[in-house]
Amino acid sequence: MRVEVDTGMCIGAGMCALTAPEVFGQDDVEGVVVLADERPPPHLHAAVRDAVDRCPAAVIRVHERG
């Protein structure tokens, strides 16, 4: 799995960081998403998919075979 985020479109809602904190963080200034792990290990994949579903701006993309 490979994860991408469009930081320019992130609205800083923070759902990703709550859902998969090992993979997503937020910057200290505006709360924009910071990708901590572009290739998360298998045990985190379900949480990453949940984060995709919960992101209100739909800016997280997952490439399952990336």
Task: Name the site residues for ligand SF4 (rule: CB under 6 A).
Answer: 5, 10-16, 24, 26, 33, 55-57, 59-60
The smaller minimum CB distance to ligand SF4, of residues 41 and 56, is found at 56
What SS3 state is found at 60? strand
The smaller minimum CB distance to ligand SF4, of residues 39 and 61, is found at 61
* Token pair belonging to 17: 């960081």
Residue 48, amino acid: V
The smaller minimum CB distance to ligand SF4, of residues 26 and 40, is found at 26
